[in-house]
Amino acid sequence: MQADAAARLFRALGDTTRQRLLVVLLQHELSVTELVRILGQPQSTISRHLKVLRDAGLVLDRREGTNILYEAAAPSRNGHDPTLRDRLQEWMDSQRLPEQMAQRLKAVLRESREQSESFFSSVAYRWDQLREEHFGASFHLEALTGLLPSDWTVADVGTGTGFLLPVLARTFRSVIAVEMVPEMLSMARSRPDLEDVDNISFRQGSLEKLPVQDESADLALAVLVLHHVESPPAALEELGRIVKPGGRLLIVEQAAHSLSEFHERMQDRWWGFEASELEEEVSEAGFEDVESKPLPARADRPASAAEAPGLFALSARRREPYVSSWSPELD
């Protein structure tokens, strides 16, 4: 069996064209059309030689769309004991192509690179629009949430119309959506993008008295909601109650402002918050590792839109219960 494999390898490399094909493919993955240009031979000839190399285990192919791409097989070394194929490929990799063929290889690679650069140059002004048309406006958010454990239970307090729920439901095992206003909660329940979702529990209640069990959430979200509640400190205490020890809290809030037109239009109770003051209140509610950072202003705000306050994000971790190391035996 080993003798047959060795014979196939030597037969495969017993032809100058196949040797040159392998030298090229050891450097780059290429299509048949590109290999035809580089070697200057008909497609039928190149395809026949590629089949011999593939049958000998020297070349692999894969389909990409309507193209079939070829590359040299990866080394099959076992520790420091190279196989015969590895030794032959290593020797072939040290061989030089004829100058004219090497120049054609450079030209093919240069044209491929320039074609890609030309495409991106032509669509640069509408690249963001193209990505959103094909992948939606929140694919990057969903990718980032994938960094978090999927078995978490997440509480979205003040969910409103459920803007975040589709992403949360796809990412986490269980989601608790809390909203005080019945009309808002009804809209969240009836979102078309939640039609077949069964891992969301919808609950009506206020932030100052959350309908959520103690220490049941791995993550609590309060996105643009604290400035609507009557008592932010009471809401923070409730968030501290429902988050598990070691669990996380994420708050997105308006920075303190004096924009009366915006304040009246949004019917806010509070004129935003000073991030440093909110950090202290979150710490007093039982959290640690409290950090906040400003969020960038919206760059595409319509000129006709009323001026809006800045936003900041605050993250924290629920403090672990204190466990004394004292023991009667130490006295």
- Other C-beta atoms closer than 10 Å to the C-beta of 93 total 12
Q: Which is it for the CA torsion 229, 232, 238, 244, positive or negative? A: positive
* pLDDT tens digits, 173-228: 999 999 999 999 999 999 999 999 999 999 999 999 999 999 999 999 999 999 99
**CA 229 centroid distance within chain:** 33
* pLDDT tens digits, 36-83: 999 999 999 999 999 999 998 889 999 888 888 999 888 775 555 678
- Other C-beta atoms closer than 10 Å to the C-beta of 135 total 11
Assigned CATH topology for domain 133-318 = Rossmann fold (3.40.50)
**pTM exceeds 0.75, yes or no:** no
Amino acid at 49: H
Q: Of all residues in the chain, what percent are helix, strand and coil, respectively (each to 5)?
A: 45, 20, 35
- Other C-beta atoms closer than 10 Å to the C-beta of 160 total 20
Beta strand extents in 241-319 (DSSP E only): 243-254, 287-295, 311-318
pLDDT computed for residue 303 by the predictor: 61
Domain range summary for the chain, segments of one domain joined by +: 2-130, 133-318
Assigned CATH topology for domain 2-130 = Arc Repressor Mutant, subunit A (1.10.10)
| Average pLDDT over all residues of the chain | 88
| Lowest pLDDT segment from 21-25, 38-42, 121-125 | 121-125
pLDDT computed for residue 128 by the predictor: 78
